[in-house]
């Protein structure tokens, strides 16, 4: 009993340390920035919404970058989730030549860092004449090896006898996919949605390399260049992914836990 309490105390302490940057960012966003000293003013009378006013009303470019991030993230999800589901359905419920070898290749691609595939991606996008366009960062992230891996692990746990019974009733493979596989995979789909959204929302290197037009870049690239309203900008930046995480927390835990034990 005492050991469990000690473990919980340690977890709470580490959790507090992890939350310190978030707490500092949010709390600092409500204090004014002293341009003379180049620092925040933390006097009792300096509590203000000036940073938010500066970001939302006087810096239209911030909102352009923000909506660029929204468009890129959701466009990536629109491509990545259906492709991941169909790939996982094939890997988990069909037998075809070199299936295991191909899935192993997916795992290798998933484990490789972005820097290892930077040059091939750049050459491919250049040949397709996509460099400089928003699709240059949407398409590479839309074909997600991680998404296919996560969904495959989950779908392998779906009872094959249920699928065989559906086939005996005359259902096609596509009907089984739509009416049986997808409804049963909702926790894993929610998990994939959250994880891919956060990954797309916070990417920095790909936009910097593949897009040259500043008006097309997402907010994640320019967040560090904001000076007087940095904390307000950071606070607004984390609101959307935080809300998505909180709304889908239970599905995220369930989807990852079920997928990891298959």
pLDDT value at residue 36: 40
Q: Say yes or no to pLDDT of 126 above 80.
A: yes
Cβ contact 66:50 at 8 Å = no
Residues 6+ apart with CB under 8 A from 179: 171
Residue 133 Cα to chain centre, angstroms: 20
pLDDT value at residue 71: 93
Q: Measured between alpha carbons, how far is residue 169 from residues 90, 161, 175, 200, 249 in Å?
A: 21, 12, 11, 41, 36
Q: What is the pLDDT of residues 199-245, one digit of tens each?
A: 899 888 889 889 888 888 898 888 877 767 778 888 888 888 888 88
pLDDT value at residue 43: 55
Superfamily in which the 59-260 domain is placed by CATH: MetI-like (1.10.3720.10)
Q: Say yes or no to pLDDT of 136 above 60.
A: yes
The DSSP output letter for 29 is T
Q: What is the pLDDT of residues 17-39, one digit of tens each?
A: 888 888 888 888 887 765 544 55
pLDDT value at residue 259: 54
Q: Say yes or no to pLDDT of 261 above 50.
A: no
Beta partners for 47? 31
Q: What is the pLDDT of residues 140-195, one digit of tens each?
A: 888 888 889 889 988 888 888 888 888 888 888 889 999 889 998 888 898 899 98
Q: What is the pLDDT of residues 233-254, one digit of tens each?
A: 888 888 888 888 888 777 777 7
CB contact burial 25-56 (16+ within 10 A = b; e otherwise): beebbbbbbeeeeeebeeeeeeeeebbbebbb
Distance CA 211, CA 203 (A): 13
pLDDT value at residue 87: 92
């Amino acid at each position: 009993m005492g050991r469990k309490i000690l473990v919980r105390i340690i977890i709470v302490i580490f959790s507090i340390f992890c939350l310190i940057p978030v707490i500092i960012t949010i709390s600092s966003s409500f204090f004014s920035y002293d341009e003379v000293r180049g620092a925040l003013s933390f006097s009792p009378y300096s509590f203000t919404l000036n940073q938010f006013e500066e970001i939302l009303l006087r810096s239209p470019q911030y909102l352009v970058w923000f909506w660029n991030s929204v468009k890129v993230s959701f466009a990536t999800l629109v491509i990545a989730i259906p492709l991941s589901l169909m790939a996982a359905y094939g890997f988990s419920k069909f037998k075809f030549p070199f299936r295991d070898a191909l899935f192993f290749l997916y795992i290798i691609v998933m484990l490789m860092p972005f820097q290892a595939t930077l040059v091939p991606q750049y050459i491919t996008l250049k040949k397709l004449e996509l460099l400089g366009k928003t699709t240059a960062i949407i398409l590479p992230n839309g074909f997600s090896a991680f998404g296919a891996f996560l969904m495959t692990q989950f779908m392998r746990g779906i009872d094959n006898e249920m699928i065989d019974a559906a086939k005996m009733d005359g259902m096609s493979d596509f009907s089984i996919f739509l009416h049986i596989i997808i409804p049963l995979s909702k926790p894993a789909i929610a998990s994939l949605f959250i994880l891919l959204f956060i990954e797309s929302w916070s990417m920095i290197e790909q936009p910097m390399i593949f897009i040259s037009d500043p008006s097309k870049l997402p907010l994640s690239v320019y967040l560090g260049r904001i000076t007087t309203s940095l904390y307000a900008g950071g606070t607004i930046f984390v609101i959307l992914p935080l809300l998505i995480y909180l709304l889908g927390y239970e599905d995220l835990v369930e989807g990852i836990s079920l997928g990891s034990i298959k």
